[in-house]
Amino acid sequence: MNAPTDILKTTPLHALHVKLGAKMVPFAGYDMPVQYPLGVMKEHVQTREKAGLFDVSHMGQAKLTAHDGDAAVLFEALVPGGITTLREGRMRYTQLTNEQGGILDDLMATRFGDTLWLVVNAACKDDDFAHIAAKLEGRATLDIEQRALLALQGPLAETVLSALIPAAKDLVFMQAVWSDWQGDAVLISRCGYTGEDGYEISIAEDKAVALAEALLAHDDVEPIGLGARDSLRLEAGLCLYGHDIDTDTTSAEADLIWSVPKRRRDAADFPGADVVNAQLSNGMAKQRVGILPEGRAPAREGTEIQSVTGETIGTVTSGGFGPTLGGPLAMGYVPPAYAAADTEIQLIVRGKAMPARIAAMPFVPQNYKKG
């Protein structure tokens, strides 16, 4: 995991991160900022209260075009989400699944005409793109887009971004539009992974630093690293691929069934549909839940979850401290019998059983701009 720095990839903003005083760490094969001089706690609060700028250029972007007809029809066969029903400029969160229903990655898909714009996780992008290209070989073309991706998140994101790109203010949550900034095409999407209102902005690599600097010039914007990105998404109850979801979890077990419309379940026409449907009908061995430790000690990934009678019932998949929540929080998997909110459990932290309870997610209310 700790690859030598000289073989790590860099994003177009790398020099800017260093100039801003970021502490850089290896992440998904990239040398990325984990925090800036402000520190994780203040960066988190900045994003909740004002606006934070994240470099997410390590994520994969690609355009899918069918050789004949609508790319959404082809892509829908690879995911459990409702893709053919997307209207122009609308986006959905979904998962690439295998034949066992295991999650290969989670992603965003946006419709523009008969094409889809896909944004996938950095650590999975090579495998994802190879998987999609192989599954749709001869029927569609997947163009990998070498572009930078910035995320501007927080309650002041609309004010800040619309001053530079006016089209931003006309979007609602999960809507995207191609616009332009200083003569270059930019794709702005009203989405993100912090639980706050905000945008992701896809821009040509050679224009990314200029746009980042223009955004950072605003008094209400600060650069935010991966540390706060993690605490923000955890408070928002959002899954981190490779931790909270992976090929050993299905969309049902991961409590992502809200992203699987009834039409797809009834048609059972996505990879692993039979497994997912059986789990929904007959019950499952485990499901993802939110967890609130009762003390102050954070329970980290890998922490054993026990029933109050000391039986091992599961494992924490993400855990830490929520700066907005003001205390520790976690998510993990337990059998459905223990999954109801307020069920008492215990977490084994450094050999000691710490009382905790199951909690509804998100831990902090989401603040999206719905239409």
Partner 1 sequence: MSKKFTKDHEWISLDGEIATVGITDYAQAQLGDVVFVEVPEAGRQVSKGDDAAVVESVKAASEVYAPVSGEVVEGNGALEGNPALVNEDADESGWFFKMKLADAGELDGLMDEAAYAAYVKELD
Q: What is the 3-state secondary structure (H, E, C) of 317-330?
A: EEEEEECCCCEEEE
Q: In the beta sheet, which residues pair with residue 332? A: 289, 316
> What is the nearest approach in angstroms of partner 1 to the Cβ of residue 31?
17
Q: Which of 40, 120, 149, 257 binds partner 1 (CB under 8 A)?
A: 40
Say whether residue 320 binds partner 1 (CB under 8 A).
Answer: yes
Where would I find the H helices in the chain?
14-19, 40-49, 71-75, 125-135, 157-164, 208-216, 226-235, 262-267, 273-282
Select 80 or 328, whichever has its Cβ closest to partner 1: 328
Say whether residue 222 binds partner 1 (CB under 8 A).
Answer: no
> What is the nearest approach in angstroms of partner 1 to the Cβ of residue 205?
29
Q: Which of 14, 17, 44, 111 binds partner 1 (CB under 8 A)?
A: 44
Select 110 or 346, whichever has its Cβ closest to partner 1: 346
DSSP label at 146? -
Q: Which of 256, 323, 331, 339 binds partner 1 (CB under 8 A)?
A: 323
Are the C-beta atoms of 257 and 280 separated by less than 8 Å?
yes
> What is the nearest approach in angstroms of partner 1 to the Cβ of residue 322?
9
Say whether residue 336 binds partner 1 (CB under 8 A).
Answer: no
- List of E strands, 175-269: 176-181, 184-189, 198-204, 221-223
> What is the nearest approach in angstroms of partner 1 to the Cβ of residue 297?
5
Say whether residue 2 binds partner 1 (CB under 8 A).
Answer: no
Closest CA to 248 of 278, 284, 217: 284
Sheet with strand 60-66: strands edge to edge:
91-97, 103-112, 115-120, 60-66, 140-144
> What is the nearest approach in angstroms of partner 1 to the Cβ of residue 294?
13
Instruction: State the first-to-last Cα distance of the chain, in angstroms, to the nearest integer.
Output: 42
Q: Which of 121, 231, 249, 250 binds partner 1 (CB under 8 A)?
A: 231
Say whether residue 69 binds partner 1 (CB under 8 A).
Answer: no
Burial of 27 (0-12, 13-18, 19+ CB in 10 A): middle
Question: What phi and psi, each to the nearest 5 degrees, are found at residue 229?
Answer: -60, -40
Say whether residue 35 binds partner 1 (CB under 8 A).
Answer: yes
Tell me how far CA of residue 202 lies from CA of 47, 179, 226, in angstroms. Answer: 20, 10, 19
Are the C-beta atoms of 324 and 270 separated by less than 8 Å?
no
Closest CA to 33 of 318, 223, 242: 223
> What is the nearest approach in angstroms of partner 1 to the Cβ of residue 32?
13
Select 20 or 41, whichever has its Cβ closest to partner 1: 41
Say whether residue 280 binds partner 1 (CB under 8 A).
Answer: no
Q: Which of 20, 34, 133, 278 binds partner 1 (CB under 8 A)?
A: 34
Q: Which of 297, 357, 366, 369 binds partner 1 (CB under 8 A)?
A: 297
Say whether residue 39 binds partner 1 (CB under 8 A).
Answer: yes
Closest CA to 146 of 8, 9, 53, 54: 9
Say whether residue 243 binds partner 1 (CB under 8 A).
Answer: no
Q: Which of 158, 230, 235, 253 binds partner 1 (CB under 8 A)?
A: 230
Q: Site residues (CB under 8 A) for partner 1?
A: 34-35, 39-42, 44, 227-228, 230-231, 296-298, 300, 320-321, 323, 328, 350
